[in-house]
Amino acid sequence: MSFGYKTSWLAVRDAGPGEVADALGLRHRRSIDWTSGAELAYRHGVFVAGPVQGWTLAHGRIHLTQETDATHPDFPDRLRTIAAHVGDLQYFGTDRIGEYHAWARVESGVLTRAYCYVGMSGAVPLRVGEPTVVERELGVGLVGYEEVREDWGDAEWDAWHAAMPTEQHVMRIAADWSLCPLGIAEDSVSAPGIHGFPPGVEPTS
């Protein structure tokens, strides 16, 4: 089993699983293989995988950012705090049910780019920095709600919605910035990863 859809993950360059787990403050840790860890983190906790092509990925559907996703005002600070321990990092999140699609990256301690769209509410709660090359190629992440005008007709609204991202766009951006976990073959990850729980979250049966 891999991961990517209906979850969130971090990508960190040149940092081991232990360093990333420390930065996330994970407790109740245990060593675990890719398939088991990826599946488990969809239910609870966070799985920090063994390095793949120089990237360490940490995924958790619920607990990755301590239930602070890209719609929360504290999200940028949370990413910068993690980056202070492990260096440059990237965040990706997607959930087709609520149409939550987000991506962000911190470089040299600065949140240089972040975008979040929530289709259920039609909102763009986070928009930082200029769109990257891949975003411009895909035609997403270019506009926010501040461009909306009261006198828009159907054509303008159709164009605005067409410029909003989907889960497939999140995967394409991840593949361009670092790597997309969907493209990682399970049997290609031999090094064990770490599964654990962030502060305030206790293991469940």
Sheet holding 55-59, edge to edge: 27-32, 193-197, 46-48, 55-59, 7-13, 89-95, 100-107, 110-118, 123-128
Determine, yes or no, domain membership for 180: yes
Determine, yes or no, domain membership for 205: no
Dihedral sign from CA coordinates of 62, 199, 110, 179: negative
Determine, yes or no, domain membership for 169: yes
Task: Return the structure tokens found at 49.
Answer: 């995988």
Full pLDDT tens readout for the chain, 205 residues: 678 899 999 999 989 999 999 999 999 999 999 999 999 999 999 999 988 888 999 999 988 876 678 989 999 999 999 999 999 999 999 998 888 999 999 999 999 999 999 987 778 889 999 999 999 999 998 877 667 677 777 787 777 778 889 999 999 999 999 999 998 877 778 789 999 999 888 887 5
Cβ-Cβ contacts under 8 Å for 81 (sequence gap 6 or more): none
Rounded to whole angstroms, how far apart are CA atoms 80 and 107?
9
pLDDT of 186? 73
Boundaries of domain holding 116: 7-197
Q: How many CA atoms lie within 13 A of 34 on its CB side?
A: 18
Q: Give SS3 for 193.
A: strand
pLDDT of 86? 95
pLDDT of 199? 87
Determine, yes or no, domain membership for 137: yes
Q: Give SS3 for 116.
A: strand
Rounded to whole angstroms, how far apart are CA atoms 185 and 201?
30
Determine, yes or no, domain membership for 202: no
Determine, yes or no, domain membership for 1: no
Nearest to 89 by CA among 78, 100, 101, 74: 78
Do residues 75 and 68 touch, judged by C-beta distance below 8 A?
yes
Number of domains in the chain: 1
Determine, yes or no, domain membership for 133: yes
